[in-house]
Structure formats: C-alpha cells, structure tokens
Structure 1
Amino acid sequence: MDSFQIAISDWAAFSPQRMQRDQWLSWAEGSASSEQAGYKPELPWVNAMLRRRLSPMGRAALWAAGQLLDEQRPEPVATVFASRHGEVGRTVKLMRELAAQAPLSPASFSLSVHNAIGGIHSIANKVLSPITAISAGPDTLCAALLEAYAQLASPAHPGGEVLCVFYDDPLPEPLDEFNRETAEVQALALRLALTDTPGAVPLSFSLGEAPGGGAEVRDESAQVDRFLRFLLNGNERVLNLKGDRRLWQWCKRARACP
C-alpha cells in the first residue's frame, strides 16, 4: 500500500461533557469523569442573526474551528468540513412538514444542505480560501483527511495548512435504528500540514482493501473518537480504521511503523 505523510499542528474538540484540552487528555487516557457538565459553545465572533440559525451541532463545529483561527496564524489554504449525516435533523423536520402539506421554511432548507455549516463559517470568519464539504459514509473521517492531504500536495497550494472540521450527532427518529456507533466527540477541528513543526504530531497513513471473511471484531466507538484518542494518547502507535470496503492505517512517525 502507498503511504502518505501529514502532520497535525493543532486541534480542538467539543462535546457537552468536555471542551478543555486537559479534559480531553484525561479522557484519552481513560481517566475522564462521567459527570454531565452541560457545556455550550460560545461564538462571540458570529453575529447574533447567524448564531440563531445554527443548530447545537453547527455551533459545536464552528466553535472547534474558531479555536484554531487567530490573527497570529495565517488563514488555512483550504478548509474541509466533514460529517457523515450533516443536518439530517432539519431534513427530517422538512419531510414531516411536506407530509403534512405545511409550508416549508426557505431558511430551514438552506441550512439542511451539506455545505451549510461551511458557508456560515466562511461568512462569520471572513474566510476567502476554498471550502469543501465531504460525506463518505463510514469512510468520512479518513476521506476528509485524504482530501486535506490532496489539497496540501497540490502545486496550487505550496506550504501552508489545511483546516479539517468533523461534526456529527446521533440520527433522530425515525432513523435512530441506524445509529451503529457511540460518539462522545460532537465536533473536532485539526490543522494539518505536510511538514513537521515543533509540537506537531507527524503521521503516516495508508489505505488498502479491507480483509474479508472471518469474524469481525466490531468497535462501537465512533471513528472520530478513536482517532482523537490515538492522537492524544502517547502509548498508541498505530490505529486501524475499517471503512466501507477500505482499511485505513494510521501510524505516528515519531516511532518506527510496522
């Protein structure tokens, strides 16, 4: 399998249970408290009209992205927003209104599309660089990181960093029977580059055809949870993530990879 290399220079994550870095580091090491904290993301840089239009998941995604954008750092050469289900709750509500022959809200429709959060992000943060929205089923997280690598490796973007933002919520009724993973991370943002910088986590990754046959050991944790634990836990060296028909292997380059 071909191997590709990236480096993660910074990260931010949000859930209603935790939002500070030390909380996530404790969680990654398995010593996090199960206390329900009830955190809510504050978005002072988003004007009130836009904030009112955001769902809790959208607020979480923009909060995580906002933690990695400041005046001291250049704007990312591109931003990749990735969500397996997106604003499906809005879509379900619109379909119920259609079934009841009720009038539809144009604002609700415009916010139900998969690139809606990226669009609000570009307005709120005055982002002028390209924004991509990705949904790739069980491969969503890895496909977004591969897209970030492709953007960084493009001759049009020499150097610089790409911002990746992952976000998802459990599926609502009547789709909740398809919830097959338990996610603790509601939103995760990563800044990625091709070159290592002080404090960055250098990674290599490869993808190949997923092996078939035999009894599969299923991990009910969401892939974004598993990836963040791998990133933060210094004892984890290799991470295998099984997608639809692909096997993605991630390895920390600070140590020898198999």
Structure 2
Amino acid sequence: MNFSFSIENWFALSPGLSNKVEWEFWATHFNHDWCLPLPKSTKIPMIQARRMSAPSRLAVEVGLELLRNNQVDFAIFVSRHGELERTYKILSTLNQDNDISPTDFALSVHNTASGLLTIIANQAIPITSLSAHIDGFHQGLIEALPMLQFDNKKGLLVDFDGIIPDIYQTKIKQLVPVYAVGYILTQGNQIHCQSVEKSATIYQEDYPQSLAFLHAYLNQQKQFTLQGKVQDWQWTLNL
C-alpha cells in the first residue's frame, strides 16, 4: 500500500499546547508536561462545551479552527477509544442500579465529535468516524484517498483521544492523556507513505500516530517510520 497527498494546513490541541508556536516548541524540545491544563474552548458555545467530553471538545475545537479559513468537501474523524470515559461511566452507573444521565447516553456514541462539528459549524458535509486500534491515523488517510486522488476534493482529517479509565490502564499504555490533531488534506505529492514490514527503527513510538507524524512534519524529517499494529508505515516528506 502506498499513497501521496499534500497538507494545506494543520492545528492541534493538548494539555499545555494551544497554538502553533507552542507545538513547534514541543517538536524541538523533550519532556513536555502532559499534566498541564487543557486549552480553553474559544469557538464552541459554552452551553455545548460544558456537555462535551474533553477529547470531543478538543476535536471539535480543532475542526472549527481549520474550517475557519478552509472550505472542505468531507471530514474524517478518527479515535481509537472514542467516548470510552463516558461509556465506562454509564456502565458503572448501571452496575449500581442507578439511572444514567440522558446527556451521557446521547453523547456516548463514537461519532459524537464529528456530529457536533457539523452542527456547530453549520456545515452539512459528509462525515466518516473511524476506529482502527493504533492505525487509526493511517486508516483515516486511506479512507480519504479516493476523494483526494480521483475527485480532487479537499478534506479535513481529525485524530483525537481521551483519558483511559483506570480499570483499563493495565492493558492500554498512554503517554498523551488528551489530544486532538487535524489536517487539511489535498491532492499532491508533498508527502508519500507506504506500508512496510515491521521495523526495528520507529520514530517517536510512544506517541499516537498522528502526533508522531506531526512531530516529524514540524521537524521536516525527510524520511521516518511510524509504528503500526501488524505492519509499519514509512514516510517521505518533500517539504
């Protein structure tokens, strides 16, 4: 599997990282404190932001920022765990024979963030919501390929995730507690990716794929390999 595309714009949010300058600093320095406060929402109406989980809020905020100056034809949202924290809360409440919150129930689906983006942005664009273990970022790109390459359309890709409930932490290792990163994708040859056999040399293997890619992108790494589940992904940047 190999494919090429270009990036027209990007934006990301995570604890202590609320603008491009801070992300560029992160990309060139070690030991970022992931326990810093989450960025505040500046584009989501407060009444809606208060009901949203942290990862969905960041994902929608990233999407709104990128849609501010970009007209896209489709959007793809990727999250390995989706609304896991809210779902665990629902299961715990049911286990205690208590009534669940209607808000928690309504906002517990995987496509919560993507649906809220279209509502708040007031844009009726086609939306896809994906989950693909650690390969979500690459599968999101593959999902976008037909529209980029054959229809010459412009797309929004947002990858995000949130805090893993304590009960799952023995099975799921997590360096970045909450994050959302988005890219405006277009047809082009600025960036090339191909699937490869498992490699011993992995770039920023502790980060989710989309953040590891952002780290390399901001550092203008010419070539690097990102870790996948059953295969790895070799990237070449022509920036």
TM-score by length of 1: 0.83
C-alpha distance in 1 between matches for 2:149 and 2:46: 37
Q: Does 1:206 align with 2:194?
A: yes
**1:119-165 alpha-carbon deviations (Å, 9 max, x no partner):** 111100012111000100011111112212233234xxx32310011
C-alpha distance in 2 between matches for 1:147 and 1:111: 24
* 1:248 pairs with one of 211, 221, 233: 233
Aligned structure 1 segments of 4 or more residues deviating by more than 6 angstroms: 214-218
Q: 1:115: Cα distance to partner?
A: 0.5
* 2:128 pairs with one of 128, 132, 137: 132
C-alpha distance in 1 between matches for 2:34 and 2:173: 24
Label 1:95 to 1:35 Cα distance change in 2 as closer, same or farther (>3 A): closer
Q: 1:242: Cα distance to partner?
A: 2.3
Aligned residues: 239
Partner of 1:73: 70
Partner of 2:176: 183
Unaligned runs of 5+ in 2: none
C-alpha distance in 2 between matches for 1:139 and 1:35: 22
Partner of 1:24: 23
Unaligned runs of 5+ in 1: 197-201
Q: Does 1:118 align with 2:110?
A: no
Label 1:215 to 1:189 Cα distance change in 2 as closer, same or farther (>3 A): closer
* 1:56 pairs with one of 54, 57, 60: 54
Q: 1:191: Cα distance to partner?
A: 0.3
Alignment RMSD (CA, Å): 2.6
Partner of 1:199: none
Partner of 1:165: 158
C-alpha distance in 2 between matches for 1:239 and 1:217: 6
Tell me which structure has the larger Cα radius of gyration: 1
**1:101-126 alpha-carbon deviations (Å, 9 max, x no partner):** 11122321221110011111110001
Partner of 2:10: 11
Label 1:126 to 1:182 Cα distance change in 2 as closer, same or farther (>3 A): same
Q: Counterpart of 2:184 in 1: which secondary structure?
A: strand
Q: Counterpart of 1:86 in 2: which secondary structure?
A: coil
Task: State whether residues 4 and 193 of structure 2, in contact with CA within 8 Å, keep that contact through their aligned partners in structure 1.
Answer: yes
Label 1:104 to 1:210 Cα distance change in 2 as closer, same or farther (>3 A): same
Q: 1:27: Cα distance to partner?
A: 1.1
**1:17-66 alpha-carbon deviations (Å, 9 max, x no partner):** 1112111111111268659652433243x334322221122111111111
* 1:228 pairs with one of 202, 214, 232: 214
What is the percent sequence identity of the aligned residues?
27
